[in-house]
Amino acid sequence: MFMQETMRWFGPHDIVRLSDIRQAGCEGVVTALHQIPVGEVWPIAAIEERKAMIEKEGMSWTVVESLPVSEDIKRQSGDYKTHIAYYKESLQNLAACGIKVITYNFMPVMDWVRTDISYTLPSGGKALYFERAAFIAFDLFMLKRPLAENDYTPAAIATAEHWWETHADAEKQAVFQNAMLGLPGSTGRFTPAEILAALDSYKGIDTARLKAHLFYFLREVVPVAESLGLKMAVHPDDPPYPVLGLPRIVSTAQDLRDIIASVPSPANGLCFCSGSLGVRPDNDLMSIIAELGAHIHFLHLRNTRRDEQGNFFEADHLNGDVDMVAVVRALLLLMKERRVALPVRPDHGHQLLDDHTKTTYPGYSAIGRLKGLAELRGLQRGLASILS
């Protein structure tokens, strides 16, 4: 039994077309209704319209990525109860349209963060890169977040000061622009005023409180999802540690255990992202699969290469710190045991060949993801012949 191969599609305005994804050999598409403001209901008509586009190209839509959780829900402020009610209604509408897996995340304010979205690899390809000193310099000297210095060691601040003193204005501006990127599916960027106001709205919300808010949300929505036959899949934090003084609570194996234990249900599950989890050397991916495999409903397979300073870049899918051969082998055995073909997508491909001339959402060019998908497909087939 092989994984259900998919790619992410950001909708009709995505430069990567559905026909491109079909030519890559994908069975399914992972998408979301990015045009609908966060916190509002996804109506059946809009879901059906998107589903029809995908099916017209001979593929299926079974995974939503993502049905976003509003900042009000994360903070338990403002209209959070209304937003939870709308979230439940969206779940009902998605189930009525045949969608099976709902991905979401609980990262406050910012989604994934990188300092360089066109890091040049030795091959000439371009990758996503996170440079810790550059990000601390952004926080301290560009964003100028109040009391930011309290969140870093003197050594880390000294490294950021050195970075600031030795880099040109153009390089600083590039880091600023990259750090301020908006949510996936968006072409906009945050402004410093927006970021600082959002950070201020989380004042007093520490790790324990944010976890309590997540568990409250899950107690509300998981029973609904279970009654509808849906699977909820939380995406790990990216990167998996605090950012801009904000807690991040889906970063470690213990975080994942806590989430599953908060609402015991087959509908309460995980998006296993080998890249996000693999950035932390203390995350044992094989142990996570062995312990929590029954709760994995969606797979993001990508690889990263990290160093001791906390920097990392998106490596080739089969050549990074993650032992992808061992991971895929464990996942194939897991699927055989569960008798299920888990949906998978190659995550964050490199910019290769003529994709250098195109403007795509960072990490989502067509050719790099096609390369990753082909490598993962070949790995699956090779391992399956050994395991059979």
pLDDT digits (tens, 9 = 90+) for 131-183: 999 999 999 999 999 999 999 999 999 999 999 999 999 999 999 999 988 66
Please pick, among 20, 111, 202, 235, the residue that the annotation labels catalytic. 235
- Of 108-117, 175-184, 233-242, the one with minimum mean pLDDT is 175-184
* 34 given a catalytic annotation: no
* 317 given a catalytic annotation: no
0.75 cut: is pTM over it? yes
Are residues 344 and 301 in contact, defined by beta-carbon separation less than 8 angstroms? yes
Q: How far apart are CA 31 and CA 347, in angstroms?
A: 13
- The pLDDT of residue 28: 96
Q: What is the mean pLDDT of residues 344-363?
A: 93
Q: How far apart are CA 345 and CA 373, in angstroms?
A: 7
**Taking the domains of the chain in order of start, what are their residue ranges?**
4-112+205-387, 116-196
Please pick, among 213, 295, 300, 317, the residue that the annotation labels catalytic. 300
Please pick, among 80, 104, 116, 273, the residue that the annotation labels catalytic. 273
- The answer for residues whose C-beta is within 8 angstroms of residue 350's C-beta and 6 or more apart is 121, 125, 126, 127, 314, 316, 365, 368, 371
* 300 given a catalytic annotation: yes
Please pick, among 80, 104, 129, 364, the residue that the annotation labels catalytic. 364
Q: How confident is the model at residue 186 (pLDDT cuts 50, 70, 90)?
A: low
Mean pLDDT score of the chain, rounded to an integer? 95
Please pick, among 20, 347, 350, 355, the residue that the annotation labels catalytic. 347
Please pick, among 87, 348, 350, 355, the residue that the annotation labels catalytic. 348
* 364 given a catalytic annotation: yes
At the fourth CATH level, which superfamily is domain 4-112+205-387? Answer: Divalent-metal-dependent TIM barrel enzymes (3.20.20.150)
* 13 given a catalytic annotation: no
Q: What is the mean pLDDT of residues 211-225?
A: 98
* 213 given a catalytic annotation: no
Q: What is the mean pLDDT of residues 348-357?
A: 94
Q: How confident is the model at residue 185 (pLDDT cuts 50, 70, 90)?
A: low
- The pLDDT of residue 47: 98
